């Protein structure tokens, strides 16, 4: 059972969905979805993607979303009903670290977004995604590389220390985005494509929320990585930049797509 170090609720995920709208659409494109297909979203959250997937698969298809959080599953189910797609969309509460409860070769395509950053062993979940996907089916994973997050500030040393705290102490696997190419190769997937995504922030308040900066600063303080005086200096530098209208931060992620080979047994 993996414990989330940073809990994200459905409101947070709604904000993130807005920031990532284009990248989400790109993951659907890379799944090469056709009407009538059976699709899987692993770590589906509140149904942010299962509902668009259901629209692409159509009423003759089937979409399953799995997530271990009961509140996410309840919200996903509510949203599917409101969107009128619930007859062919199902959300199941499952801890994916214990495996995916589907037979081999069940799905035409599957995806996972920003789940691997929470997993100590993402390779096990990727292997399960490959197992339950049909031969030739596409697997698409989007994840963040929290180690690339940067904020323009004169307090560069504090900023670098906080970036490491965010990546290494606030998430189980904060470097997930940079690992995806290796994981796809090691999983034996073929026709692998790699794309990177970048998210800029010029809105200080939004940046704090999206990057859970309150949580990161508190963790850094309690771990002795920064002192209270350094925290004050750091905050003052960001607030000054915001007040002057020059605040800037960014971070990157990756989208990997690959196919389960047609012939070999995985
Ligand atoms: C950052 S959210 C992304 C949600 C969704 N993919 C999206 O893009 O909106 C990560 C999701 O992974 C789920 N999750 C984390 N660990 C999990 C596990 N072991 N099994 C299943 N779901 C898990 C969380 O509950 C959360 O909904």
- The residue whose C-alpha atom lies closest to atom 1 belonging to ligand 1 is 114
Q: Is the pLDDT of residue 7 over 90?
A: no
Pairing relation of β-strands 133-151 and 107-113?
A: parallel
Q: Give, in order, the Cα–Cα distances in Å from 130 to each of 24, 68, 99, 160, 175.
A: 20, 20, 12, 36, 22
Name the helix (H) or strand (E) containing 125. helix 122-132
pLDDT of residue 4: 57
| pLDDT range class, residue 5, cuts 50, 70, 90 | low
pLDDT of residue 264: 61
Give the dihedral sign, CA 260/262/264/266: positive
Q: Which residue has the tokens 């690959």?
A: 258
| pLDDT range class, residue 59, cuts 50, 70, 90 | very high
pTM score > 0.75 for this model? yes
**Which percentage of the chain shows pLDDT scores above 70?**
96
pLDDT of residue 16: 87
pLDDT of residue 11: 84
Q: Is the pLDDT of residue 40 over 80?
A: yes
* Residues with Cβ within 8 Å of residue 223, at least 6 apart in sequence: 165, 169
Distance 43 CA to ligand 1 centre (A): 4
| pLDDT range class, residue 3, cuts 50, 70, 90 | low
Distance 12 CA to ligand 1 centre (A): 12
Token representation of residue 38? 């059976």
Q: Is the pLDDT of residue 263 over 80?
A: no
**Which percentage of the chain shows pLDDT scores above 90?**
91
Mean pLDDT score across all residues of the chain: 95
pLDDT of residue 181: 98
Q: Is the pLDDT of residue 113 over 90?
A: yes
Distance 79 CA to ligand 1 centre (A): 17
pLDDT of residue 247: 98
Rounded to whole angstroms, the maximal C-alpha distance in the chain is 61
pLDDT in tens, 114-134: 999 999 999 999 999 999 999
- The residue whose C-alpha atom lies closest to atom 19 belonging to ligand 1 is 95
pLDDT of residue 266: 60
Q: Is the pLDDT of residue 1 over 50?
A: no
- The residue whose C-alpha atom lies closest to atom 13 belonging to ligand 1 is 43
Pairing relation of β-strands 62-67 and 133-151?
A: unpaired
pLDDT of residue 2: 42
Q: Is the pLDDT of residue 150 over 80?
A: yes
Q: Which domains occur in the chain, in start order?
A: 10-259 (3.40.50.150)
Q: Which atom belonging to ligand 1 lies closest to the Cα atom of 96?
A: 20
How large is the average pLDDT for residues 213-240?
A: 97
Distance 227 CA to ligand 1 centre (A): 33
Q: Which residue has the tokens 């970048």?
A: 198
Pocket test for ligand 1, best of 69, 115, 215 (most atoms within 8 A of CB): 115
Q: Is the pLDDT of residue 219 over 50?
A: yes
């Amino acid at each position: 059972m993996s414990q989330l170090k940073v809990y994200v609720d459905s409101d947070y995920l709604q904000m993130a969905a807005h920031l990532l709208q284009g990248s989400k659409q790109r993951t659907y494109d890379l799944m090469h979805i056709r009407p009538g297909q059976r699709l899987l979203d692993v770590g589906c959250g509140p149904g942010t993607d299962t509902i668009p997937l259901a629209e692409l698969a159509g009423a003759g298809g089937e979409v399953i979303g799995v997530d271990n959080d009961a509140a996410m599953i309840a919200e996903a189910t509510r949203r599917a009903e409101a969107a009128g797609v619930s007859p062919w969309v199902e959300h199941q509460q499952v801890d994916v670290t214990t495996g995916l409860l589907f037979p081999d070769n069940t799905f035409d395509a599957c995806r996972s977004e920003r789940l691997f950053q929470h997993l100590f062993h993402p390779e096990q979940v990727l292997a399960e995604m490959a197992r339950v996907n049909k031969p030739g089916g596409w697997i698409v994973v989007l994840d963040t590389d929290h180690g690339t997050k940067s904020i323009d500030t004169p307090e560069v040393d504090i900023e670098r220390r906080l970036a490491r705290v965010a990546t290494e102490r606030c998430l189980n696997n904060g470097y997930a985005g940079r690992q995806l190419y290796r994981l796809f190769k090691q999983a034996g997937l073929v026709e692998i494509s790699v794309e990177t995504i970048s998210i800029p922030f010029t809105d200080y308040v939004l940046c704090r929320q999206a990057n859970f900066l309150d949580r990161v600063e508190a963790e850094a303080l309690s771990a002795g990585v920064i002192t209270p005086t350094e925290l004050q200096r750091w905050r003052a530098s960001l607030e000054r930049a915001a007040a002057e209208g020059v605040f800037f931060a960014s971070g990157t992620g990756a989208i990997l797509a690959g196919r389960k080979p047609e012939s070999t047994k995985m």
